[in-house]
Amino acid sequence: MGAAAPAQAHKRPDAPAAPTAKPATVTRIDPTFWWVGMKNPKLQLLVHGPGIGSSTLTLNYAGVTLDGVQKMESPNYLLVNLTIGPDAKPGKLPLQFQGAKKVKYEYELRARNTDPGRVQGVTSADFVYLLMPDRFANGDPKNDVIKSTNVGRVARDSMYARHGGDLKGIENHFDYLKELGVTAIWPTPVVENNQPKASYHGYALTDYYAVDPRYGANAEYVGFVKKAHAKGLKVIHDVVLNHMGSQNYLFRDQPARDWFHQWPSYTRSNFRDAAFNDPYAATQDRKLFGEGWFDLHMPDLNQSNPLVATYLIQNFLWWVENTGLDGYRIDTYAYSERNFLMQWGAAIQAEYPQLGMFGETWVQGTSQQAYFAQNIFPEVQGFKSNLPGVTDFQLYYAINETLTKDAGWTEGINKLYYTLQADWMYQDPMRNVLFLDNHDLSRYYSVISEDFQKYKMGLAWLLTCRGIPQLYYGTEVLMKNFSDPDGKVREDFPGGWPGDKKNLFVAAGRNAQEQEAFRYVSTLATYRRTHPALHSGKLMQFIPDAGVYTYFRYSDAGTVMVMMNSGKDEKTVDLTRFAERLNGFTSGVEVTSGAAISDLRALKIPGRTAWVVELRK
């Protein structure tokens, strides 16, 4: 997520009164269509239209049962509950609404797509590339400005305006991503964000069932996923459970006040996740964290309302079934209501057990992070997480400290050791996502003061440690800048727009150091993909000594030794200490340079260097 807006007074928009002179109409139904043969036969339709709440409903369709309708606080909504039986066939379901006038709506039931290449999941064998669609590449200038949206221009000189990137721009660079060694693409949200300000980031969605038209149409997104799969690339869909954008029709015309957390005036979250499970927490602190708004323009959803919970669950089942995407990254995961998180996770996994899922857990402390993932803890205050993995902020903190602080008893590179030592709390830490930076953080190359040796150290760690590595767009070509105050960590990728002075998508457009950085990432990522020891093997680490940290990734397919010297001076390392893992090996090859290592008794490793050594017998 991005920085929140300053607090301002907020008043709930009044729902428009039901028209008295005109008959009811249907403007939309969510979900927009559904499928026969889903594991859960129940379907909740949210029908919207002026005065539709005063209607009755009849339907006659083989295999489909009308379980009942429910009026909402707003007269412009009617809730319809259906059971889609196992004998129901694809077709148009005739919904007959009877009010002052009959209204007929044909609701589509589709056949499920049984293509085996869909919903592949995301695992530790993947290398994830995080990008912002608006800032990556502009492949279709015709969709830069859409007249129906609240932002009617592009302005690449403003970091908070639209820049014109789109799905086609990403597609045009699939080959670039493949050359880099990427196996999965994670775009920030592609759903409609029709907010008047800072709409480019996507985290204030205004239509749960529509791709932002400035990125492309829904059909184009379906095609995007299919084309990515054909290229050997998976797609991770970035989703928001906690809130929506204030321009969403569900907020502008609220079905009922209890669909949102209401406050007398704008009340922001305290952002203190510890209140969630603090045994000594004040009720007000816990309420502010979970029910306060993330931002002025991001209304906070009341997920304890079962109608809201069902609406959200159905939406995220819909996106998987409609597109065949491979994984979900869940934004602001820790802020949602805890019972809802368990219900949502169970429903998604029941329908798509192979789907990859990891949540944003920007929290402090490994135990707090593990609390939000599948863990070994007993139920705590009614919550037992079923989320497979999380964004591993604790290891992010540790690698930053490794590269910016001297080694101490627990400081510097020793923090890596102690953070990994705490992996016993997770059911499977291999499902956690590792990263050096992202769209909310200062860029990695700037954090390490543009030290190229440190740059390679961090990348070596990212691509050899346990878990799922994630790279932020442009890190591979040394893009830089800090997160505050100007947002330049979200600059355009050079070469993504016609007329750009630099084009870093091609080797000819990179200077020598940018090309070396790209080659380093590509070499390691390619090696990692083809060597199971690095992406699915076991991990054994040795306590750092004199600023040198050594760990091994090993399986029946091979063994890789990683040695990191965080100090500025060369160190001679006695390898006899590692006999437990070196036994039977007589030599090795440093993967990134191809240098041969013939003596496994001792090594002289230069300062601020990481070696990735394939051991040989």
Tell me: do 243 and 370 sit in the same domain. Answer: yes
Question: Domain ends where: 66, 83, 110?
Answer: 110
Catalytic residue flag (residue 476): no
| Total domains present in the chain | 3
Q: Is residue 4 part of a domain?
A: no
What secondary structure letter does DSSP report for 461? H
The rounded distance, in Å, linking the Cα atoms of 214 and 148 is 11
Per residue in 165-195, pLDDT (tens digit) is 999 999 999 999 999 999 999 999 999 999 9
Q: What is the pTM of this model?
A: 0.95
Per residue in 75-109, pLDDT (tens digit) is 999 999 999 999 999 999 999 999 888 999 999 99
Residue 6 — very low, low, confident or very high, per pLDDT cuts 50/70/90? very low
Q: What is the pLDDT of residue 21?
A: 45
Q: Is residue 66 part of a domain?
A: yes
The rounded distance, in Å, linking the Cα atoms of 201 and 403 is 29
Q: What is the pLDDT of residue 24?
A: 86
Tell me: do 539 and 552 sit in the same domain. Answer: yes
Residue 158 — very low, low, confident or very high, per pLDDT cuts 50/70/90? very high
The rounded distance, in Å, linking the Cα atoms of 189 and 239 is 6
Per residue in 389-405, pLDDT (tens digit) is 999 999 999 999 999 99
Tell me: do 41 and 189 sit in the same domain. Answer: no
Tell me: do 305 and 164 sit in the same domain. Answer: yes
Q: Is residue 477 part of a domain?
A: yes
Q: Is residue 414 part of a domain?
A: yes
Tell me: do 463 and 353 sit in the same domain. Answer: yes
Average pLDDT, the chain: 95
Residue 1 — very low, low, confident or very high, per pLDDT cuts 50/70/90? low
Tell me: do 466 and 581 sit in the same domain. Answer: no
Q: Has residue 20 got a pLDDT over 70? A: no
Tell me: do 381 and 258 sit in the same domain. Answer: yes
Q: Has residue 10 got a pLDDT over 80? A: no
Per residue in 479-512, pLDDT (tens digit) is 999 997 778 999 999 999 999 999 999 999 999 9
Q: What is the pLDDT of residue 381?
A: 86
Q: What is the pLDDT of residue 557?
A: 92
Mean pLDDT over 429-455 rounds to 98
Among 15-24, 50-59, 460-469, the range scoring the smallest mean pLDDT is 15-24
The rounded distance, in Å, linking the Cα atoms of 8 and 27 is 32
Q: What is the extent of the structural domain holding 572?
A: 534-616
**Angle 553-465-360 (CA atoms, 0-180°, nearest 5)?**
145
Tell me: do 428 and 557 sit in the same domain. Answer: no
Q: Is residue 291 part of a domain?
A: yes
Tell me: do 136 and 80 sit in the same domain. Answer: no
Question: Domain ends where: 530, 552, 587?
Answer: 530
Residue 511 makes CB contacts below 8 A (sequence gap 6+) with none
Q: What is the pLDDT of residue 22?
A: 65
Q: What is the pLDDT of residue 485?
A: 74
Q: What is the pLDDT of residue 486?
A: 79
Q: Has residue 67 got a pLDDT over 80? A: yes
Tell me: do 137 and 264 sit in the same domain. Answer: yes
Mean pLDDT over 22-34 rounds to 92
Per residue in 340-367, pLDDT (tens digit) is 999 999 999 999 999 999 999 999 999 9
Which residue in 331, 401, 491, 514 is the catalytic one? 331
Question: Domain ends where: 485, 508, 530?
Answer: 530
The CATH number given to whatever domain includes residue 540 is 2.60.40.1180
Q: Beta strand pairing status for 64-71 and 77-84?
A: antiparallel
Q: Is residue 436 part of a domain?
A: yes
Q: Is residue 18 part of a domain?
A: no
The CATH number given to whatever domain includes residue 95 is 2.60.40.10
Catalytic residue flag (residue 411): no
Q: Is residue 23 part of a domain?
A: no
Which residue in 295, 360, 423, 476 is the catalytic one? 360
Tell me: do 524 and 550 sit in the same domain. Answer: no
Tell me: do 593 and 474 sit in the same domain. Answer: no
Q: Has residue 374 got a pLDDT over 60? A: yes
